[in-house]
């Protein structure tokens, strides 16, 4: 390249979100850049270079999805900050031989991301540095002028602090006239696979540029430019005050390769081609992540067939059904990733239980971090309504049935339901199970009615009447009997074991007799031969024993351990001690005595009486083989995935009810672990009296799913109508009837409705809601036809709908809150806790009256006032405890709810679940469920009450201080439906809270100003005295 005449114009293109590293900005000059000098200069240069190298090392990129960082990896003003590097640079520039390089260093290549600690991604080939020669311009001093022009999309994508820095730097360069800078090559390193694909000629061209530019020298500019430090400091501090766009700094390895493959996948999905791209329309990185995180290297044949179905390619709704452990979830995950990465739309996954939601969150979060999408939990008290609207990244919402319904409602209300590209429902058969099934049906019906572009995928292992579900969801159906591990079903009657055989005359054939020597003591303790059955597989293989009740789980675990040999104690002994140690750590030093005895043998019980922390630890120990036997209830079958070599059903009962075919299939489906076992076994233990029922159980088809929308009156059809009108999905009788025809209930109306028609049920339900004060007919509607009459939601109706309150309790809650407002006891938190205690848990509560009386007698006067206000007297509790007859009628639900309030109040004061569990003789798992339920219900109550809070806020009362200084008479005139007594109560409560806050702050001030008692001066004077 001709040094004398050419002016090189560089265009730098930086990939989105890639930020220049400090080493690239302040790279020390190469050996070719430095002129030979005396030994002292060389020595100074080496020292300065080594100092710069030390301070300019970039820390590894953190995984951070908060998107709150404005200055990227160097936002600190401390000694290792960005400006500290500038200080080092300026010291370096003070050296006589090196001042002339200041300009070069300031405008060093901003595209360079190479660092031995940070392997960031390279730009795409199209974005590589373009060198353009301008043959008509020469420079008398034979210098090369470098002009950096960031492309428009560059300035849009990087943080504004960097943009301002570019502009200041560019202006400074213009002011300097003919100042020159050396040409540097744009080095960026990423994954080896990308580097290997770069064209050889591009690399050679950059190397030639670097070789020629290394010979360029710059003239002195000491009096012609401002300090670089001042430029940067003014840019960064000035810009920090401005509103800046927020950008994620999550793993900057994101990758040209991934971006290119996503673009290819987008084009593939949009085209009609059968070519699915690297991995089912997804980047090959997804396949690599499945190998890395889940050990899945290849899909089953049925999974490939399902993913390549025409209906799936055309984004039609789909229902698919396979036996448990067949790999259903993987198909759903791939479809979800297609929606998130390729179609760039949000996804909702609905799961039946909180534990499964948490398990799925844990499994998919790593995919979200690597592939650039958010994974958000909607379970218990977690979840934001409406969800945060993302500009760039998309969200995967993983929700329970109830939270999924609330999420869909919030998206419809804000007009964002179209942003939901896919809804996945696991355990679709639950649509036929009580109130939860009704809520699931409402959710899916609303999605179908309001968004024609949202795809619905449903999956289950136990579906029978699929045609009805197909009609409801307008879906295609795929099924397969594939199971990765063969399942052998057995029945045990006395000492004999029979294999289930559908071809045999009575459905079973004799297999073998149990060969195990039983002592007389063992026969009495273990009449069902459980010890013999479990010792055939443990400890080498795992085993699950399903028991009818929670207490039976604990008893069976202890009984088995009593008869196991001492050899079992030696199996993975140290790891079992570690499990016990971890259980103590999560329980504040406490340990269940049953687990203390059983875990050394590798045995534990698993039911809802455990806390969530205990459950997680035990499940992890079982999954890794440290524990080899679980005695559990039927909920484990529908919960987290814990397969076993052998599954034993202790009896054909769940609690006192005989086993259903669906439940039986769920339980035995846990037998056989893919990739570990060659087969799985299930053994159902039965008595002679149950033999005929069991034979019918194993031979009959699965139970049909039936809609519970009308059967669950308050949680079903009434709640649906209230939300339809509240969300303005359908506001008149005709539209509501049309909506009902499209529900699962509408599909099954001929089967389910015998006496009344769907039209009559619709009219009756609307009339009931109107009479209850939740709906009103629109008086402005002049239509004479009844079916065209419009309805609108009342304030009570809107509060119930917003708070997702069961309509059976909404008027009770309103009455309780209104009563509380008139006489809220603020001297104690008991009254507030009572108001947030869930009604449904209170109705199922059975108090221990002696404990109730003991707790009642320990109440303070203020707490006794709360009980008196609720109508519960100590005399009543005393009579119940002593078993005396009671003439005075007291509301049972109120009494039970107050008892649960005592439990929560004790938990608030003691914060230790174990001590509260012991005090009230309740399972610690139940207390934790009560706490979670109270947290969820308090959130509902908050939304229920938001109407009044918003009224006050809109009227100008925006803080506690405003309310404390308000005039009650003005409040009455300003706020609708506010009585004088209520207004005075609001003002006095606000004054009291404000006074308490002021006192607390005053105490804090006094504490801060008080001289510490252990102050050295005071201590020494005391000693002298």
Residue 479 above 90 pLDDT? yes
pLDDT of residue 161: 37
- DSSP for 788-840, please give it: G-BEEE-HHHHHHHHTT--TTTHHHHHHHHHHHHHH---SSSHHHHHHTS-HH
H-type helices in 955-977, by residue range? Answer: 960-964, 968-974
Confidence grade of residue 635 (pLDDT, cut at 50, 70, 90) = confident
Rounded-to-integer distance, Cα 106 and Cα 227, Å: 10
582 has a pLDDT exceeding 50: yes
Rounded Cα distance, 146 and 110, in Å? 13
Q: Which residues contact 496 (CB under 8 A, 6 or more apart)?
A: 510, 512, 513, 514
- Residue 374 and residue 368: Cα distance in Å, rounded? 6
Query: Greater confidence, 993 or 269?
Result: 993
Mean pLDDT of all residues in 539-558: 93
Question: In three state form, how does the secondary structure of 899-912 look?
Answer: HHHHHHHHHHHHCC
pLDDT at residue 236, as a whole number? 60
Class of residue 189 by CB neighbours under 10 A (exposed 0-12, middle 13-18, buried 19+): middle
Give me the pLDDT at residue 365, please. Answer: 92
Confidence bin at 1017 (pLDDT 50/70/90): low
Q: How far apart are CA 278 and CA 682, in angstroms?
A: 40
φ, ψ of residue 490 to 5 degrees: the values are -130, 155
Q: Say what the pLDDT of residue 439 is.
A: 94
Strand positions, DSSP E, 586-717: 603-606, 629-632, 646-649, 653-654, 657-658, 679-686
Return the top range by mean pLDDT from 178-187, 243-252, 338-347: 338-347
User: Which among 149, 59, 56, 139 is positioned nearest to 105, based on CA atoms?
Assistant: 56
The mean pLDDT of 586-613, rounded to a whole number, is 92
Neighbours of 181 (CB within 10 A): 25
The pLDDT of residue 820 is 75
The side-by-side arrangement of strands in the sheet containing 317-321 is 374-378, 395-399, 346-350, 420-426, 455-460, 317-321, 475-479
Give the pLDDT confidence score for residue 253 in this predicted structure. 53
**769 contacts: CB under 8 Å, gap ≥ 6:** 718, 721, 722, 775, 797
| pLDDT tens track for 929-943 | 999 889 888 888 887
CA-CA distance, 708 to 433, in Å (whole number)? 7
Q: What is the DSSP letter of 538?
A: T
Tens digits of residue pLDDT in 817-870:
888 767 777 778 898 899 999 998 888 888 999 999 999 999 998 888 889 888
Q: What is the predicted pLDDT for the residue at 255?
A: 58
Three-state DSSP string of 250-303: CCCCCCHHHHHHHHHHHHHHHCCCCCCCCECCECHHHHHHHHHHHCCCCCCHHH
Give the count of beta carbons closer than 10 Å to the beta carbon of residue 226.
11
Question: Residue 869's pLDDT is what?
Answer: 87
How many whole angstroms separate alpha carbon 566 and alpha carbon 931?
A: 40
- Average pLDDT, whole number, for the chain? 76
Is the per-residue pLDDT at 311 higher than 50?
A: yes
CA distance 788 to 781: 9
Say if residue 265 is preceded by a cis peptide, omega within 30 of 0. Answer: no
| Percent of the chain predicted with pLDDT > 90 | 36
Q: What is the pLDDT of residue 257?
A: 63
**pLDDT at position 591, please?**
93
The CA distance from 474 to 315, in Å, is 12
Indicate whether 162 pLDDT > 90. no
Angstrom CA distances, 774 to 254, 439, 801, 814, 949, stand at 52, 19, 9, 12, 20
Cβ within 8 Å of residue 581, ≥6 positions away: none
Q: What is the pLDDT of residues 687-721, one digit of tens each?
A: 989 999 999 998 888 889 999 998 876 778 999 99
pLDDT tens per residue across span 79-114: 444 445 545 555 545 544 444 444 444 334 433 333
Q: Nearest-5° angle of CA 846, CA 850, CA 853?
A: 100
pLDDT band at 785 (very low <50, low <70, confident <90, very high): low
> CA separation (Å) from 431 to 298, 443, 1012?
32, 11, 64
How would residue 125 be classed by pLDDT, with cut points 50, 70 and 90? very low
Per-residue pLDDT at 1012: 78
Mean pLDDT of 175-189: 41
Q: What is the CA radius of gyration of the chain?
A: 36
End-to-end CA, the chain: 89
Strand partners, 475: 317
Q: Can you give the three-state secondary structure of 731-760, one letter per residue?
A: CEHHHHHHHHHCCHHHHCHHHHCCCCCHHH
Spatial distance between the Cα atoms of 120 and 104, rounded to a whole number of angstroms: 24
Residue that wins the pLDDT comparison between 303 and 272 = 303
Q: CA separation (Å) from 676 to 216, 242, 643?
A: 66, 58, 10
Q: Does residue 248 have a pLDDT over 90? A: no
DSSP state letter for 79 = T
To which residue do tokens 């010979």 refer?
215
List pLDDT tens digits, range 11-67. Answer: 334 343 444 443 443 444 444 444 444 444 444 444 444 444 444 343 443 333 333
Residue 858 in tokens: 């320990």
């Amino acid at each position: 390249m001709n040094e004398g005449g050419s002016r090189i114009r560089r265009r730098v293109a930086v990939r989105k979100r890639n930020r220049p590293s400090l080493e690239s900005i302040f790279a020390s000059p190469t050996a070719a850049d430095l002129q030979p000098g005396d030994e002292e200069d060389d020595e100074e240069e080496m020292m300065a270079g080594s100092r710069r190298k030390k301070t300019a090392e970039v820390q590894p990129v953190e995984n951070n999805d908060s998107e709150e960082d404005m200055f990227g990896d160097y936002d600190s003003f401390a000694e290792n900050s960005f400006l500290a590097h500038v200080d080092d640079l300026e010291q370096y520039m003070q050296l006589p031989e090196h001042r002339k390089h200041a300009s070069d260093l300031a405008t060093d290549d901003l595209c360079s991301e190479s660092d031995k600690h940070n392997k960031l991604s390279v730009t795409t080939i199209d974005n590589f540095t373009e060198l353009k020669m301008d043959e008509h311009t020469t420079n008398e001093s034979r210098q090369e002028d470098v002009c950096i022009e960031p492309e428009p999309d560059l300035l849009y994508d990087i943080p504004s602090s960097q943009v301002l820095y570019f502009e200041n730097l560019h202006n400074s360069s213009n002011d300097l006239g003919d100042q020159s800078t050396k040409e540097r090559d744009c080095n960026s390193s990423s994954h080896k696979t990308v580097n290997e694909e770069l064209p050889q000629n591009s690399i050679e061209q950059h190397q030639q540029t670097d070789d020629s530019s290394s010979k360029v020298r710059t003239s002195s500019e000491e009096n012609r430019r401002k300090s670089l430090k001042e430029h940067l400091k003014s840019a960064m501090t000035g810009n920090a005050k401005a509103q800046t766009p927020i950008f994620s700094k999550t793993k900057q390895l994101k990758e040209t390769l991934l971006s290119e493959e996503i673009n290819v996948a987008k084009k593939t999905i949009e085209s009609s081609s059968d070519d699915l791209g690297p991995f089912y329309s997804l980047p090959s990185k997804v396949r690599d992540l499945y190998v890395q995180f889940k050990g899945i290297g290849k899909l089953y044949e049925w999974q490939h067939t399902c993913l390549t179905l025409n209906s799936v390619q055309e984004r039609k709704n789909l229902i698919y059904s396979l036996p448990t452990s067949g790999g259903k979830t993987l198909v759903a995950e791939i479809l979800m990733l297609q929606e998130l990465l390729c179609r760039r739309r949000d996804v909702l996954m609905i799961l039946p239980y909180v534990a499964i939601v948490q398990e799925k969150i844990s499994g998919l979060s790593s995919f979200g971090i690597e592939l650039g999408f958010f994974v958000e939990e909607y379970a218990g008290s977690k979840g934001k309504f409406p969800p945060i609207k993302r500009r760039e990244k998309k969200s995967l919402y993983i929700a329970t049935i109830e939270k999924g319904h609330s999420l869909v409602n919030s998206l419809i209300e804000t007009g964002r339901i179209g942003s939901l590209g896919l809804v996945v429902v696991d355990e679709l058969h639950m649509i036929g199970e009580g109130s939860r099934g009704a809520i699931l049906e409402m959710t899916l019906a609303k999605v179908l009615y309001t968004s024609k572009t949202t795809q619905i995928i449903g999956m289950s292992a136990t579906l029978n009447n699929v045609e009805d579900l197909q009609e409801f969801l307008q879906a295609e159906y795929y099924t397969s009997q594939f199971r990765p591990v063969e399942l052998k079903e057995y029945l045990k009657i006395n000492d004999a074991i029979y294999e289930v055989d559908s071809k045999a005359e009575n459905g079973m054939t004799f297999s073998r007799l149990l060969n195990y020597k039983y002592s007389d003591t063992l026969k009495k303790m273990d009449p069902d031969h459980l010890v013999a059955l479990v010792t055939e597989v443990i400890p080498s293989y795992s085993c699950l024993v399903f028991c009818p009740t929670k207490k039976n789980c604990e008893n069976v675990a202890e009984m088995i351990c009593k008869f196991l040999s001492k050899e079992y104690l030696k199996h993975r002994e140290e790891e079992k001690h570690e499990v016990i140690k971890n259980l103590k750590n999560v329980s504040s030093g406490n340990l269940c005595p049953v687990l203390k005895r059983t875990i050394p043998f590798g045995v534990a019980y698993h039911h809802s009486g455990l806390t969530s922390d205990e459950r997680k630890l035990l499940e992890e120990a079982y999954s890794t083989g440290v524990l080899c036997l679980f005695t559990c209830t039927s909920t484990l079958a529908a919960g987290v995935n814990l397969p076993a070599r052998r599954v034993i059903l202790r009896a054909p009962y769940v609690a006192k009810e005989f086993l259903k075919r669906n439940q039986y299939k769920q339980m035995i489906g846990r037998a056989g672990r893919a990739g570990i076992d060659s087969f799985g076994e299930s053994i159902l233990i039965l008595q002679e009296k149950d033999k005929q029922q069991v034979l019918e159980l194993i031979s009959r088809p699965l139970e049909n799913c039936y809609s519970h929308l009308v059967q669950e009156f308050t949680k079903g059809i009434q709640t649906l109508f209230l939300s339809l009108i509240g969300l303005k999905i359908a506001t008149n009788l005709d539209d509501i009837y049309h909506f009902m025809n499209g529900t699962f209930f509408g599909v099954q109306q001929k089967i389910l409705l015998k006496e009344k028609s769907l039209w009559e049920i619709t009219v009756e339900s609307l009339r009931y809601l109107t009479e209850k004060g939740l709906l009103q007919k629109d008086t402005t509607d002049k239509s004479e036809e009844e079916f065209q009459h419009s309805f609108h939601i009342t304030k009570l109706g809107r509060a119930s709908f917003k708070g997702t309150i069961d309509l059976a309790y909404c008027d009770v809650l309103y009455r309780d809150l209104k009563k509380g407002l008139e006489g809220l006891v603020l001297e104690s938190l008991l009254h507030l806790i009572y108001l947030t205690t869930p009604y449904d848990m209170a109705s199922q509560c059975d108090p221990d009256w002696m404990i109730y009386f003991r707790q009642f007698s320990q109440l303070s006067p203020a707490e006794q006032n709360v009980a008196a206000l609720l109508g519960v007297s100590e005399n009543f509790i005393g009579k119940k405890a002593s078993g005396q007859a009671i003439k005075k009628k007291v509301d049972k639900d109120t009494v039970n709810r107050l008892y649960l309030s005592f439990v929560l109040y004790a938990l608030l004061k003691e914060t230790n679940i174990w001590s509260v569990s012991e005090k009230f003789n309740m399972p610690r798992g139940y207390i934790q469920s009560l706490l979670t339920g109270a947290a969820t219900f308090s959130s509902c109550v908050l939304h229920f009450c938001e109407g009044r809070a918003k009224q006050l806020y809109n009227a100008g009362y925006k803080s506690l201080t405003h309310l404390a200084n308000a005039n009650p008479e003005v409040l009455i005139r300003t706020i609708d439906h506010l009585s004088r007594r209520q207004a005075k109560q609001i003002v006095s409560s606000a004054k009291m809270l404000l006074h308490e806050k002021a006192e607390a702050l005053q105490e804090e001030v006094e504490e801060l100003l008080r001289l510490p008692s252990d102050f050295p001066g005071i201590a020494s004077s005391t000693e002298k005295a």
